[in-house]
A and B are shown apart, each in its own frame.
Chain A
Amino acid sequence: MTAPVDGLGPPVGAEAPPPSGLSPDGREGSAGTAPTVGPASDFLRDLTEAGLLLETGVPGLYGRSARFEALIERIDEFVSRRTAEDGAERLRFPPALPRRELERSGYLEGFPHLAGTVHAFTGDERAHRALLADLEAGRDWTTRQRPTDVALLPAACYPVYPTLAARGPLPERGALVDVASWCFRHEPSREPTRLQFFRMREQVRIGEPEAVRAFRDDWLERGRRLIDELALPCTITTAHDPFFGRGGRMMAASQKEQGLKFELLVPILDGGGPTACLSFNWHRDRFGRTFGLRTARGEPAHSACVGIGLERLALALLRHHGLEPERWPRAVRALLGS
């Protein structure tokens, strides 16, 4: 999101696209560039040959083996143990949200190129015949489908805001939510770090500005400690979301200038820079205003989220400690209970 630095004037921060949570990639200058699908990267080939990921024929859409899934579960449990004392409310949503919530969220303003909606056939028998005729003739049969009320979830935290807003004003202490889901970004790629479907675990803090900002700042430290514990190298840097188009460059520059987004980067790929495995996003009162989230005092609530890309963290571990988790450093295995 963007808003004037000084925060003066009319509803600032209510206008710009919301943060997308974890960026689809950790690279600079990715704003609005069209997705390119190159050949499979060496690392992707290693992962498929080791039987960790399974090709489906669509870039960025992979099956996961039992070994890969076990790793994801252990990372997830590790995060659960490290956040157990926080007292967050645990909420889980399907990897979708009502289309009207996506429309309302402002996501389409900033990321029209990443959004996905679910379409379905709703016609009669005659229309069904026409669909099958299209299919048989190799024509585009999908024009026979209509958009449903469902959109694919771009970031795990999106359903949290309308859900909490529906409860009425927040309690005095605000809210802390632990949420996780499969997420979708239309960004076909042959890099295993950039998936069309991936899992994101998030901690979301909603409340008074000071408390929310403190949460974000605190997590910059906690995030680094988590990664240190896993014996991974990392850097934390200010970042921006991959806003669409040339106008998006301005939004990106502004987001960065205001320090609204930080990313924890781990080198995973040989080229193209390190990959964002955690992202720390301060939305100010953007979602508070958009979804009518009020503090106990009746003000638009501020919010921030910390997203952990579970697949990316798994890939970072596989890259740095090897493709066989049973041979990882003892300390790391102990932490992940493997």
Chain B
Amino acid sequence: MPDELVSEIRALLAREGSLAVDVAAIGDRDDLWRAGLTSHGSVDLMLALEERFGVEFPDRLLTRQTFRTIEALATALRELLAAEVSA
């Protein structure tokens, strides 16, 4: 099922992630670090996601796990967006 959130993450990953490979070739559960995501790229991606969705990643989510896959990022963002709504 196409997911708007995942599409947005993919678009920002393509723009900010400085990956060595085409984002279209990466599955939602593929390891982004193995795909060449750098520390620097992950910070750029984090800042772009925060700006796009109007959220802030709390310290507990600033781990390599959160940025390991597109799916993990989507899960983290859904959680942050839900917290926004209920707040």
Contacts and interface: CB of A to CB of B under 8 A. Distances in A.
Do A and B form a real pair? yes
A254 B31 CA distance: 15
Nearest to A245: B43
A82 B43 CA distance: 42
B34 A9 contact: yes
Contacts of B46: 246-247, 250
Given A10-B20, A246-B57, A257-B64, A251 B34 contact: no
A257 B64 CA distance: 9
B67 A16 contact: no
Nearest to B39: A16
A137 to B, nearest CB: 40
Interface in B48-73: 57, 59, 62-64, 67
A9 B33 contact: yes
**Interface majority SS on B: helix, strand, loop or mixed?**
loop
Contacts of A109: 40
A336 B40 CA distance: 45
Q: How large is the interface on A (under 10, 10 to 19, 20 to 34, 35 or more residues)?
A: 20 to 34
A8 B42 contact: no
Interface string B2-33: 00000000000000000010000000000101
B39 A2 contact: yes
Contact of A253 (B34, B43, B64): B64
B36 A9 contact: yes
Contacts of B59: 246, 249
A257 B62 CA distance: 13
Contacts of B20: 10
A254 B64 contact: yes
B67 A250 contact: yes
B44 to A, nearest CB: 8
A250 B42 contact: yes
A247 B62 CA distance: 7
B38 interface: yes
Among A5, A15, A16: residue with most chain B CB under 10 A: A15
B36 A16 contact: no
Interface string A274-312: 000000000000000000000000000000000000000
A218 interface: no
Interface string A218-258: 00000000000000000000000000011101110110010
Contacts of A17: 39
Nearest to A248: B43
7 contacts: A5-B64, A16-B38, A246-B46, A247-B42, A250-B46, A250-B67, A254-B63
Interface of A: 2, 4-6, 8-10, 12, 15-17, 109, 245-247, 249-251, 253-254, 257
Given A9-B34, A250-B46, A250-B62, 19 more contacts: A2-B64, A4-B33, A4-B64, A8-B34, A9-B33, A10-B36, A15-B41, A16-B38, A16-B39, A246-B43, A247-B43, A247-B46, A250-B42, A250-B43, A250-B63, A250-B64, A253-B62, A253-B64, A254-B63
